[in-house]
Amino acid sequence: MCPKLFDILSEDVLDLIVAEVAKDAELEELCEIRLACRDLSYVLESKLFKATTINITRPEAQSQLRIMASGNGANARWTTHLKVQSLPRAANRSQSTLLRKAIEGLRKLESAHIQFQMVSNYDVVLAVSQLPKLRSVQLLFETGWRDSAPLPPLEYFKGLHSLELSNLPLSQRAVDVLRQTITISPELQSLNILYQGRHSSLEDLASVFADAVAAPAFVPTLERLILRGRHITLSPACVPYLSALTDLQIDQCPTAHAVDPAFWEALADGRVRLQHLKLYPLSPSIVAYLKTYTGLRTLRLSGNGKDKSSINRQLHMVEALYREIIPQHRETLRELCTANLPTTVWEIEAKNLKAILRCMNLETLAVKYRYDVGKGTIDLPI
């Protein structure tokens, strides 16, 4: 038994030691280390059980749930992040009850990640939604989730700061539930929606934000918006809800409808100044918006969007990037990425590097450069 460990090493130092040991040690070994002394057990336990994963298809899941359901385990003391994997299509009554009780005991839980398999589990979602400190939720629906399938009770999630939905079909029912969830989360800071299915209609997020904006005490708080999918669009009516936005990422499928050009004009009129922007293709309306302010830190031209405009139009956008956008934000730009674009139009020329070299705070640069072997040495002004 070691002496009072905190008298020898500070808790911060112990945290570093434990983190290093945990990189290579097996769970059984870490549990044995806990027996060395009370102080070391305290530090290890807080690290080991900060995140908890439940997969009820595993053999040990039943005993894990029993310990958690008792309310006396380490999970109840330390767990702030929960991941529920492969939530089954059907579970017997006793198993569902045990899972619900296990989750209800996680009173310190702040974030949850739940994976659904075709059928939503009402009890699990309800149990998670009632935890008092819950602020972040990620819901992953199995690919091919049917529009007609019952939805989990998303409307029970309230007071969220972060919400991520993957593979949820944007049926009218889903839109209504999402609208309600956003309305009762007035401090929502991050919203991530991914949908790559075949739903036929196009959903303007203005309808999702409408009730929140209409609330008497509405104050814009959303700072990050990530949209991935072919059936989501943005219009000027979205801007009141997005007035605090600093990070916008739009990654659409090749057949996606373009964002309404008037949306960018509305952003400018609303004095919304993005610091981080990821999208493709670049358009005149986006260029015009980016010229209305300074302060852009990250610009990534990438994603699954397809530029169907003429080569001359694309070349004009390349010229606009290096002659207008980059000079406008040269004092703040820290990351520039065009390397993942499939077209050769965006291969950088030496003349365009001059604009990049004036970005004194640039930290990350990813561009394509075509090297002609026949020319011998590479002539780049760097």
Q: Is 157 left (phi over 0), alpha (psi -120 to 50) or beta?
A: beta
Report pLDDT for 32.
66
CA separation for the pair 247, 269 (Å, rounded):
18
> Is 331 a member of any domain?
yes
The pLDDT of residue 201 is: 67
Is 29 part of a structural domain of the chain? yes
pLDDT of residue 255: 41
Kindly give the confidence (pLDDT) of every residue in the chain, 382 residues in length, as a single tens digit, with 9 standing for 90 and above. Answer: 455 655 676 767 777 777 776 666 565 666 666 666 666 677 777 777 889 998 877 877 888 888 898 888 889 999 999 999 877 654 567 777 888 899 999 999 999 999 887 666 788 889 999 999 999 999 998 877 777 777 888 889 999 999 999 988 778 888 899 999 999 999 999 999 987 665 556 788 999 999 999 999 999 999 999 998 777 889 999 999 999 999 999 987 544 456 889 999 999 999 999 999 999 889 999 999 999 999 999 999 987 666 777 888 889 999 999 999 999 999 999 999 998 887 788 988 888 888 999 999 999 999 988 766 666 555 655 5
Q: Considering the entire predicted model, what is its pTM?
A: 0.87
pLDDT score recorded for residue 232: 82
Helix orientation angle between 122-129 and 93-104, rounded to the nearest 10 degrees? 10
Domain span at residue 326 reads: 277-382
Supply the pLDDT for residue 90: 47
Contacts of 192 (CB under 8 A, 6+ apart): 162, 163, 164, 165, 224, 225, 226
Residue 191 located in a structural domain: no
Q: How far apart, in whole angstroms, are the C-alpha atoms of residue 250 and residue 18?
A: 39
Residue-wise DSSP of 33-53: HTTS-HHHHHHHHHHHTSEEE
Q: Quote the crossing angle between the two packed helices 38-48 and 11-24, to the nearest 10°.
A: 60
State how many domains the chain has: 2
Is residue 149 in a domain? Answer: no
Residue 50: other Cβ atoms inside 10 A: 14
- Residue at 315 is within a domain: yes
Enter the tokens of residue 50: 């900060």
* Strand 203-204 to 224-229 pairing: unpaired
Cβ-in-10-Å burial (0-12, 13-18, 19+) of 342 comes to exposed
Q: Is residue 66 part of a domain?
A: no
| Residue 187: inside a domain | no
Backbone angles phi, psi at 54, to 5 degrees: -115, 125
Residue 2 lies in a domain: yes
